[in-house]
Structure 1
Amino acid sequence: MVVEAGTQQERVAGRVWTVRLDPHGRPSAGSVRLSCSRAVCADQRFPGGAGAGRRAAVEHINLHLARIHAGGGPRGEAWCACRAADCVWHTPAPVAGPRGGARPLPGAVRCGGPVVLTVYADRAGRLWRIAEMCARCAAATPDCRVLDTAPAGSGQAAAKSAAAEREPADGMNTDGVAAVFSDHGPSPAAGASASAAGTLSSAAGTLSSAAGTLSSAAGTSSSAAATPASVPRARAASPAGTSRAKKPWGKIAQRIVPYDLEPDVLRVELIELGDAFRAYQQRAEPDLVLLAELHERKARAFRLWADVSGDSSLHHEAQRAEAAVQTTLEMHANRGGRPVGDTADGDRPVVERLLTRHQAEHARAVLDHAAAHAPHPDAEARLAVFMLTLRAARAGTANVTGQDLTGWLQDDAERVLQRLLAADWLRLPSTVAEVMASRPEDPAAITVPALLPEQPRPFDFGKTTRARISGWAQKVVGDRKIRKRKAGAATRLLALYTAAHSRPDGHLGRLEDGGLHLDRVAAFCTLTPEEVAEHAELLVAADWLTETDTARGGLRGQLTERVLPLSGLL
């Protein structure tokens, strides 16, 4: 606050409000936490993901802006908040001070001009900052927009300070706020920033897309009678003696490419790669081959960058790019289909696979989980546990209908559901009879307690993979020819197991095994080894397997051509 001392007034520190969006809980849960540097603002948690968190952050920012406007706007007697933080908001390379603290480079601190109210939003949509700072620092800070300017005179300083008590200074927190910026677009012109009738949302409308569009809740400026001093145009702070015009500036993977990075060919490659990735994001149609090439170039460039800079995090980024190359190529192969022999021969027919190799691995993991956690050892209970686990794998809850259950279990559905309910493996919102009568337009919401978010997570796949595996399992269990044979739950479990454990050409088991271990197949299907052969013959009759052989303790055979798209791609 302002303290009267004769005819002079002591200046106060500029106010800062920092709003952050951070992950909360397990990464697979997708929950985020919204926190504000103001002590009276409690943390908020949003299970709906980053989108819901960003919308709440924008509303929170608008609430503070409205209060600041009601309190008189920016205070002309305030010190620059950016200067109080050693100008780290726009100075790229601080150096060690005489007492060990980080100090800005000589000549980099260029405070001056009137006090302005600014809003900053980082490009990733994770940090928002409202600050009272000088016009020069505002112009030098990329992604920073001027919303209002303090009156040129200081006669209203005491009145503003008294009104500012509605937003106390204990909300200030400039420690640790050091962002890296990439946007060097111009700031609003002086006339636009000084407009008394303009709304705050129009001044902040050009914030990055990650921050959203600020609403007009902040109101209009109340300093209509004052004529603020002009605000200089935005500029990027450059180290002394360095011209940005001589060396292009760039960004890739949320990292600034250093202007002095050597060798120069690496710096140029990183800048071009960043531009190429941004251009790819603007494409109307994806090109996965091109994307794989970009990731491969990125992996090579980041490995070299890590070697010359000694930054271990760059090695990690290179490894991520290498993994992205493999994943992208698999997506391309899965989208366009693979030849039957998993080769590039033009004479072989192309098969459009339902699962990628990685998704098939997750499918086998769910099969193993169902076998280990089914509350009853019979085939019907295990089949129901597998299908319901796939439905509820992400959140522990799912929607099912009576048609789903009868499609999986025929006449045993009601009995199996009652047994799972009695074992507390499953919880229903109503009676079993009501669940069996549910229709697609009004499905029943079931809960699997062991899969709720507060329990240890048995799976680490995302919602897209879950949906693909669930669709794959539905195609296997609901196969038309298997249904015509009126095959029971054990036969359908055998169909699931053989499809999940087949090679791209349809042969069962890995190449070195020469088939599936008969004991493992029998244990999964809750059959004896002798009974496996009988049910395998049923699959042959249903045109699922071409032939079977259970001699020498193994199950050998091959999927028919019509079910090759369901292969687990061992």
Structure 2
Amino acid sequence: MTVEADTRQERVVGRVWAVRLDPYGRPYAGTVRLSCSRPACPDQRFGSAAAGRKAAVDHINMHLARIRESGGPRGGAWCACRATNCAWHAPGPAAGERGGMRRAAQTERCGGSVVLTVHADRAGRLWRIAEMCARCAAATTDCRVLDTAPPPARTAPAQAPQAPDHPAARREPTGGTGKNDVVAVFSHHSPSPAAGPPSPAAGTAPLPRARASSSAGTSRRAKRWGKIAQRTVPRDLQPDDLRAELIELGDAFRAYQKCPEPDLALLARLHERKAAAFQRWADVSGDGSLLREARRAEKAARTTLWIHENRSGRPSSDTAGGSVPQVEWLLTRQQAGHARTVLDYVTARAPHPEAGAHLAVLMLTLRAARAGAGNVTGQDLTGWLRDDAEQVLERLATDGWLRLPGTVGEALASRPENPTTVTVPSLLPDRPRPFTFGKTTRSRISGWAQKAAGDRKIRKKKLSTATRLLALYTAAHARPDGHLGHAGHGGLRLDQAAAFCALPPKAITEHAELLTAAEWLTEADTSQGTLRGRLAERVLPLGGRL
């Protein structure tokens, strides 16, 4: 595209569309923000990275469709890569030096037709559509050419190419990149999902071949050596199957590092194979350091499996699917075990056999579990105890179980910017410690109890404090599939559940039916002296994973 100014032609800079995903909100929330460099595209937010990537691909496809409708790439556009001083190029041989990549990029000369390209980074966080020259496209790693612009019609003598600092090169393009210009370069070793079929205009001008990677030549012949764990596998290592296994494992670990999504089950299997291979290598060579590396790989495999089971709620060997749903659990198995310990502590140490006192003791214990003191606000107290907050706190303070810096009324009136520091004398550091968990686990269990006791549907039905305690108890004692109690034990004992909820055992039936009506339980049966049932799917993330 050219702009006539008197008898002089000026070329506009090639357009760039940059779509990117960035974390948004709290670190553990998993929320991402999708932003586009085009000013007309508003930011969007998604609850997971997978949903954000799908939306990003759809957004890229929408832009590509509009570009094709408007005639595709512009033959007279200035190379967008050149406008960034060719910062998108793959690092050349000089990249090892300080500033080497920039110097290697500057040795390239723009040339060839203007092409429309798409690029996706390895981590699935950045997508870029750009109008650039064919030579820059070939020098950029995994830059896929979608369309080629026809040569511009020349109505005036051609002028020498302008340098990147020329005013025409600095001018904002017609569809300027806007708020998020691309300044970082990533690589991606699979075809971009945003790429659509090339238009008929593609192929009107020959394109230079893409620069081959340094490993392309070695992949065509049988590999006799490789690297794994920063060790070079000797060419003459015997037996041959051990050498081949070590080389293959090194390639597999490097391939895993380029995956857009982590697969912990696969990583654990790789560590197990590495442990076995290094054990054999140590036996053959007698090198003690190889044996230590094998032990580290075994430990890494166990740790990775443990993380995988905590995240998915399913053992890594369970590949058949079964009846265990995939759930994003709020607590790990170890944290859920600590939560049950706190519930047993409340049952044994609550000073009054009332549901309100039990709930207050539970929540305040979780706030003060580490140092014997914790901060609460009036909103916390009234949310837990509703209309009974003043009476329950007064009784706990009178009996000496709780210490307040002022009156109960002042505690109920405290605001988030000036919370009340409450003290539980039995949890002070100079007393025997009933709990062994750290501050992170304490915070997670406290948040779990807050979510369970303050469930939206339970609040909407205005269920009693005893019913909310039963909801907490059933969540803490549920298996990964949602069923209550340990497998083979027939459910939860009514006397133990009733002791925690400050109810007679016969009253559990009525409160279990209320939880079923609130869609907390899908079923409940107390006919044989035990509470048998199953958590509803919506509250499975709160399960204790017995």
Normalising by the residue count of structure 1, what TM-score does the alignment of the two structures yield?
0.46
Normalising by the residue count of structure 2, what TM-score does the alignment of the two structures yield?
0.48
